[in-house]
Amino acid sequence: MSEPQDPLVVFTPSGKRGRVAPGTTVLAAARRLGVDLDSVCGGRGICSKCQVSPAYGEFAKHGVHVDDDALSAWNEVEARYDRIRGLAKGRRLGCQAQIQGDMVIDVPRESQVHKQVVRKEAAMRDITMNPATRLVFVEVQEPDMHEPTGDFERLARALKAQWDIEGVTADPTLLARLQPVLRKGNWQVTVALHKDHTGAPPRIVEVWPGLQEGPLYGLAIDLGSTTIAAHLTDLVTGAVAASAGAMNPQIRFGEDLMSRVSYAMMNPGGDKEMTAAVREAISGLIADLAQEAEIEADRIVEAVFVCNPVMHHLLLGFDPVELGQAPFALVTSNSMGLGAGDLELTGLTPRARIYVLPCIAGHVGADAAAVALSEQPGKSEDLVLVVDVGTNAEILLGDTSRVLACSSPTGPAFEGAQISSGQRAAPGAIERIEIDPVTKEPRFRIIGVEQWSDEDGFTEAAGPTAITGICGSGIIEAVAEMRMAGLLDPSGLIGSAEQCGTARCIPDGRTQSYVIWDGTEAGGPLIAVTQGDIRAIQLAKSALYAGARLLMDERSVDKVDRVVLAGAFGAHISPKHAMVLGMIPDVPLDKVTSAGNAAGTGARIALCNIDARAEIERTVREITKVETAIEPKFQEHFVAANAIPHKTDPFPELSRIVTLPDVSFNTYGSESGGRRRRRRG
């Protein structure tokens, strides 16, 4: 089509180049050369999405000299656009400016469809925008009695003619809206068009009169056992417009997953109750987000969900009973593409498309898949262990050669539940703690107060009854600090006041507790770490460690190169204390990073980029699933991991920070031994 004497055009930053006939518009040239240049109005000079920055002069790098008249003069459309809406200096409308000579044309970031979004929180991986749903402006032919066709058929024909989009479909509820919108827009409308990675025909999910350049939103929703987090995300820029969280109302049916499965087993229709509850909560969350961002519901056209298998089933209306017993069969492990109506969700367009990430196995859910998508263990050159710490721990181990996954039933102790003074991470909760190895005195920080407890202004800031309990990260630090201060022996037994040399160790039945804070005089709580608390943390950390070990066995390794702590809670765990406890295998401290809410990030990536959906569906199939519940070695590792042993310096980096004392508290025996005797007595 092009001749050797035709103008040469070079696009930056892509570097794509080629010759086009003189008079070709920049937008047409970009399309021909496969350059990523946006347009909503399809070249009518009204949306300005195709703005470009032409460059003039000598470009040795590209071997091009650009004359001043290489681009056609500013035309009437551009002048009008500039007059009404303003065009930045040096910018041209790509659909208007015509190429007359050799050109170098820069496509600014905001004019690219597939722009990169830099993740600020944890810059592990940037998101490339390639969302399933986008806005498309079309001019539709008016109806003609002599050639009767439906309004929808003429809209479909316009999409084919003006955008080369073939075979569009629409739900009856969209068709029901179509006629008034077409007439209100005087036969010009903007449609939200959904086309995902599955090869399904493109689908019109919303329609508005006239040209609509935005906004267009999707939701990334991390549906956890305890909390639901939703991010309203701009589908053009990838920016998070608003975030909101809510408690999962299913908590009233059971704190942890298995108690909810039990509820479904014991109560006919119990699963339906839980499904209705969570769907209602999600709809409420969506309404909050729309209100916060001050947008109409019809602008929210997509949602992506990540969740563990039980949440997955209860969201989708599946009875989770099979997940409560071996062989833990999922109803479906594939990703799901649904309509908002299928999930009875409100607050977004009723035709919004829902994407649920695939599950990896009966115990390893779409949340783990989302972590894999966010943290990409399969693209890691070194061997990385990714641990998503929550009520259940999802564990991934891998590198470019192979990725393994399992889930480990840590229970809710890490979240502060089943701990005598435990509470959720909320103002008043002890989140950080240090114990002086000499004086055995603690100092701590509570959520909501800047100062440590021994710093000036703490009492004033906190008030006498402000200290309410210990949250998950606090209890982990407390146990680790107690061990480092010699208050615990390697078996996890708390020493007595005499053995430890501190009155903070007090008898509590046949065992001891360590008092962190006594607020009883002011009417507040007595916050202590009991022997039972230590045991709960030991069980949880053993389960987590055993899961990681099992994967390491499968890979035949006894160490990993680095550890990523994921999960909203993982972001708050101190790597040092986690390693002291033996929650995670020993690695140099600087090789332990936090990925924040990696599952939520994975959801956002899948929302913004359909290629990522295809990628995670492929990845999930390739992951080696390890089932902890049936693996005899899991029990071995679990038992072996129970202690918090003396460290013999395997890692100098770690030993520089901490050496655990080799104490031993000789009592009448271990706690469990004691219990056994009691029962016999």
Q: Tokens representing 334? A: 């594939």
Q: Does 161 help bind a copy of itself (rule: CB under 8 A)?
A: no
Whole-angstrom distance, CA of residue 309 vs CA of residue 663: 43
Q: Which of 22, 150, 269, 448 binds a copy of itself (CB under 8 A)?
A: 150
Site map (CB under 8 A) of a copy of itself, residues 115-134, x = contact: --------------------
Please choose, out of 124-132, 240-248, 249-257, 335-343, the segment that lies near a copy of itself by the rule CB under 8 A.
335-343
Q: Which stretch binds a copy of itself (CB under 8 A): 140-148, 494-502, 527-535, 559-567?
A: 140-148
The answer to whether 196 contacts a copy of itself (rule: CB under 8 A) is no
186 near a copy of itself (CB under 8 A): no
The CB-of-561 to a copy of itself minimum distance in angstroms stands at 27
Rounded Cα distance, 637 and 632, in Å:
9
* 142/436 with CB nearer a copy of itself: 142
Measured from the CB of residue 578, what is the shortest distance to a copy of itself in angstroms? 28
Q: How far is the CB of 362 from a copy of itself (least distance, A)?
A: 5
Q: Calculate the CA 374 to chain-centre distance.
A: 7
Q: What are the distances in angstroms from CA 316 to CA 272, 282, 305?
A: 10, 13, 11
Minimum CB separation of residue 221 from a copy of itself in Å reads: 17
Any contact of residue 681 with a copy of itself (CB under 8 A)? no
Smallest separation (angstroms) from a copy of itself to the CB of 630: 5
Whole-number minimum distance, CB 546 to a copy of itself, in Å? 17
Q: Verify binding: residue 176, a copy of itself, rule CB under 8 A.
A: yes
User: 141: phi > 0 → left, psi -120 to 50 → alpha, else beta; which?
Assistant: beta
Nearer to a copy of itself, 115 or 154 (CB): 154
From residue 304 to residue 323, what is the string marking binding to a copy of itself with x (rule CB under 8 A)?
------------xxxx-xx-
Interface positions, 349-408, toward a copy of itself (CB under 8 A): 359-362, 364
Residue 166 is given by DSSP the state -
Region of 126-134, 178-186, 544-552, 578-586 interacting with a copy of itself (CB under 8 A) = 178-186
Angle at 14 between CA 101 and CA 375, to 5 degrees: 170
Closest approach of Cβ 148 to a copy of itself, in Å? 4
Q: Indicate the SS3 state at residue 516.
A: strand
> Which of 334, 439 has the CB closer to a copy of itself?
334
The yes or no reply on residue 258 touching a copy of itself (CB under 8 A) is: no
Dist. CA 237–CA 381, nearest whole Å: 30
Residues 595-654 that bind a copy of itself (CB under 8 A): 625, 627, 629-630
Q: Which residue has the tokens 């790597």?
A: 575
Under the criterion CB under 8 A, does residue 330 sit at the interface with a copy of itself?
yes
Q: Is 325 in the site for a copy of itself (CB under 8 A)?
A: no
Nearer to a copy of itself, 27 or 303 (CB): 303
Paired tokens of 527: 């916050």
Helices 632-640 + 531-554 axis angle, to 10: 130
HEC profile for 320-363?
HHHHHCCCCCCCCCCCEEEEHHHHCCCCCCCCCEEEECCCCECC
Residue at 44: amino acid letter: R
Asked if 179 touches a copy of itself (CB under 8 A), the answer is yes
The b/e string for 187-218 (b: 16+ C-beta within 10 A; e otherwise) is bbbbbbbbbbbeeeebbbbbbbbebbeebbbb
**Options 30, 35, 336, 366; binder of a copy of itself; rule CB under 8 A:** 336
Please tell me whether residue 328 binds a copy of itself under the rule CB under 8 A.
Answer: yes
CB 209, min distance to a copy of itself, A: 16
The angle formed by the CA atoms of residues 195, 198 and 203, to the nearest 5 degrees, is: 30
649-to-576, 587, 653, 656, 663 alpha-carbon distances in Å: 14, 12, 9, 9, 17
- Closest alpha carbon to 389 in 411, 420, 422, 365: 411
Longest dimension (CA), the chain: 102
Nearest distance, CB of residue 176 and a copy of itself, angstroms: 5
Q: Provide the residue type at 6 as one letter.
A: D
Whether residue 216 contacts residue 235, with contact meaning beta carbons closer than 8 Å, is answered with: yes
Radius of gyration of the chain (CA): 30
Residue from the set 97, 178, 289, 310 that interacts with a copy of itself by CB under 8 A: 178
Nearer to a copy of itself, 15 or 269 (CB): 269
Q: What single string gives the DSSP state of each residue in 546-580?
A: HHHHHHHHHTT-S--SEEEEESTTGGGS-HHHHHH
CB of 78 to a copy of itself, least distance (A): 36
In this chain, which stretch among 83-91, 170-178, 219-227, 452-460 interacts with a copy of itself, using CB under 8 A?
A: 170-178
Compute how many residues bind a copy of itself; rule: CB under 8 A. 48
Q: Which stretch binds a copy of itself (CB under 8 A): 129-137, 148-156, 470-478, 656-664?
A: 148-156
In the complex with a copy of itself, which residue's Cβ is closer, 356 or 563? 356
Chosen residue from 147, 294, 460, 649 binding a copy of itself by CB under 8 A? 147
CA 276 to CA 338: how far, in whole Å? 17
- The crossing angle, in degrees rounded to 10, of helices 151-163 and 172-184 is 80
Is the Cα dihedral 288, 289, 293, 297 positive or negative?
negative
Binding segment for a copy of itself (CB under 8 A), chosen from 210-218, 231-239, 288-296, 338-346, is: 338-346
Q: Kindly tell me which residue out of 106, 171, 399, 561 binds a copy of itself, with binding defined by CB under 8 A.
A: 171
Residue with tokens 């040469």: 8
Contact 605, 238 (CB under 8 A): no
Q: Supply the minimum distance, in Å, between the C-beta of residue 179 and a copy of itself.
A: 5
Query: Which secondary-structure segment (H or E) carries 349?
Result: none
Q: How far, CA to CA in Å, does 449 sit from each of 403, 436, 460, 475?
A: 41, 21, 10, 18
Work out which of 342, 382, 455, 622 binds a copy of itself, going by CB under 8 A: 342
327 binds a copy of itself (CB under 8 A): yes
Residue ranges in contact with a copy of itself by CB under 8 A? 142-153, 171-173, 175-176, 178-180, 316-319, 321-322, 326-334, 336, 338, 342-343, 359-362, 364, 625, 627, 629-630
